[in-house]
Structure 1
């Protein structure tokens, strides 16, 4: 009989222990190699141990379940979400051969989820994780969040919090409404593919959030936020002014 490794992630201690106990009673094919209350600390073990199955909560402080998946170097696990909330496109996730369980976890549903995960592993569904990553990106897009790779990992930034994107030397500096900036190795052109209609390219190196525009200066500048000036080229001037007509 083959044994499958599993890692459990849930910020609630009681929920984590209950799930662990249920899995151990329900299946003798699952070896729980690690449990974590801190999703950030779980990342290294997931990358190192490459569990066959990953059980994770969705709503967690610091890093939610979707963000956790996106932070894994190369996802090789079957993912089973465990959550008290039913509003995270869970039916769509289930259609992508990834199961989910609503808390409190039902024993029958847990066994079905484990059996499904094992079946996927045995059939070697190579496209399943690609489908999951694509789905998560779509969910993030629907929430109007921009996925920003940084030196520390990946930030998910609500687009309404961005006032200006500035490209330089192949990097992008993202200016936020609170005055903070985030630098990413993604080029400005790559980010432009994911921005919504509130953003306007006013210069080859600058994209501004129209909602943050405070003024247009004849010398060739757009004023955004608290008197922050961004250059606008003649090529984009008329199209920019037409947005306000």
Structure 2
């Protein structure tokens, strides 16, 4: 499905959302993300940032308002592919799965559950491993890798689907500072090389502050949307963040 570059990757139009039986999680959120952008979505725990991402991906439906991905409703047949690295993405530590097997799972949405990998699948998996620097570790058991390397494997799984949009929810939770910086650099390289649109959700944005093109701060609504360099003065101003 070809989508003109002028069509936004993400359109959120006056969206509100409340979980069943609970208070409102988001109110009147409007957000547009151009294709090829690297957007950090930050905010406190419970502020609605993960809910916003789930609405964008079609995992939740808004109570009111409208969401579009590349001009179509999320989940619409033929909509451009999305690579998703969910919060605390991990497999049971006892599961003897290799790095390559994790990445191959990223092709399931394209080839289906049944049948062997095709040549195109093997090429996509190999490229994904190469891009995250794990080609030489593909036969290793996932559980033997560090937290940062495991996250690279999950990013490779998402990349194997050849996505137009890469969405990551709290990808650096439990990962050391050096690995956070390394992941940020990797994502910046992927954006430059592939032109993929990136949505990076985290309550800590320090590691990606210098590589994102834009920062969106969510506290039940959008309280800041712009250049991360403009945020510090606003961060301490209650009229902006409460």
User: Is this a same-fold pair by TM over 0.5?
Assistant: no
User: Considering only CA atoms, is the larger Rg found in Structure 1 or Structure 2?
Assistant: 1
TM-score in terms of structure 2 length: 0.29
If asked which structure has higher relative contact order (CA below 8 Å, sep 6+), I would say 2
Q: Choose between structure 1 and 2: higher strand proportion.
A: 1
